[in-house]
Structure 1
Amino acid sequence: MLKQITSILSLLFVVGLLATACASSDKKNNTVSSGENQPTKEEATASIASTTTQTAATEQAAPKDDDHKIFISDTNEDGTPRTFEQALASLKGKVVYVDFWASWCPPCRQQMPYAKTLHGQFEGKEVAFLYISFDRTGDAWKNGIKQMDINGYHFYPKPEQLSAVAQTYNVMGIPRYMIVDKSGKIVNADAPRPSSSEIVGLLNKLL
């Protein structure tokens, strides 16, 4: 119980930082339309505690795979929480472009059209696009994927695993990207965004 409480408190802190960093990035780049409102730090953290109680419901209502969207379960076959590293290991043999995002993050949303273009450039090649969500609820996560038509592999970790990801890889702001080679080695822990002119060349070098 103590471990779970510590994990939740840690996640509250992490998501609060992410919300602040996201708002700062949004203000700096001025890329968001007036119709999209960034939540305050308090709004971004308010729903995290309830996320633990929503986990079971999220699993029961897990979205179904289709030809372009594949959902990685947050739970292993033995019932243990699936870690980011385990989700990543399932894609070994492919170059993986990891996107840490949330539907409430305007800069994350702004990058999605560029990500879609990037998908097209690597269609039929051994490149996988893995989206790790920092959303406050499973419903927000699923709705964001549907609304923006985000193709690729999707993983919404349990709160304790999400907190571990943020701490292990120093994810203090989103969007944040990683490049992983075919052997599963992280070759760039802070990779360029989909809108960058560099990203295509970096991925191609690993094929």
Structure 2
Amino acid sequence: MKYCFLLLCGLVFSSCAIFHPATFSEAALKDTIQTTDRNSITLEELTEKYRGQKVLIQVYASYCPYSQDSFKDVVALQKEHKELTYVFLSVDHSYHDWKRGLTDLPVKGDHYYLPRKGKGTLGKFLKLKTIPRFLLVDPTGKLLVYKSSKVGDIAKKL
């Protein structure tokens, strides 16, 4: 009886696999992002720009208190891991809110705006429901960390 219970538990817990894609989907790569000069680029162009580099991506909103709290941890990570490239994707309410919020951010890196927030193909690919969200991309474009709300999870993979 004990073995049957253990076998049943093993089957139940092993069937609860977590979705972790290896790379961005083709649809997500076609989604557009805005630069600080309000030019549109695709996620594919963005990933090509950073090919060959290990990249930490943070999805945030400047008005979000949880995002603001997470910046302290990102700043600490930036001091320890200068070899990383830091990319910040904002889901602020508007382009103008985002631009205004950039002046108060303590983090250094490249900043972009997601005009369709979680409703675009990138947001759907990420299953973006909460922020902040962290991703870690290796130099070949592979997603090492797909879904994390803590900088500590990223630090463990470095």
- TM-score, normalised to structure 2, is 0.69
RMSD: 2.4
Distance in 1 of aligned mates of 2:119 and 2:39: 10
| Structure 1 residue 173 corresponds to structure 2 residue 130 | yes
| Structure 1 residue 110 corresponds to structure 2 residue 75 | no
User: Whose helix proportion is higher, 1 or 2?
Assistant: 1
Moved over 3 A (4+): none
Check 1:143–1:150 CA distance in 2 against 1; reply closer, same or farther (3 A cut). farther
Partner of residue 134, structure 1: 91
Partner of residue 164, structure 1: 121
- Within-5 A mapping of 1:31-110: 62=37, 74-75=39-40, 82-110=41-69
SS in structure 2 of the partner of residue 92 of structure 1: coil
Distance in 2 of aligned mates of 1:102 and 1:144: 9
| Matched-pair identity in % | 21
- The correspondence for 2:100, drawn from 111, 129, 143, is 143
SS in structure 2 of the partner of residue 110 of structure 1: helix
Do the aligned residues in 1 keep the contact of 2:136 with 2:154 (CA within 8 Å)? no
- The correspondence for 2:155, drawn from 197, 200, 207, is 200
User: Whose strand proportion is higher, 1 or 2?
Assistant: 2
Distance in 2 of aligned mates of 1:193 and 1:89: 26
Distance in 1 of aligned mates of 2:39 and 2:117: 11
Partner of residue 44, structure 1: none
Q: Which AA in structure 2 matches 1:85?
A: E
Distance in 2 of aligned mates of 1:102 and 1:122: 23
Check 1:108–1:189 CA distance in 2 against 1; reply closer, same or farther (3 A cut). same
Check 1:168–1:201 CA distance in 2 against 1; reply closer, same or farther (3 A cut). closer
Gaps of 5+ in 2: 1-33
Cα displacement (A) at 1:154: 0.9
Cα displacement (A) at 1:83: 2.3
Tell me the alpha carbon deviations over residues 159-205 of structure 1, each in whole angstroms, 9 at most, x when there is no partner. 389612111221111111111101011122113522x2x432312xx
Check 1:170–1:181 CA distance in 2 against 1; reply closer, same or farther (3 A cut). same
Gaps of 5+ in 1: 1-57, 63-72, 76-81
SS in structure 1 of the partner of residue 150 of structure 2: coil
- TM-score, normalised to structure 1, is 0.54
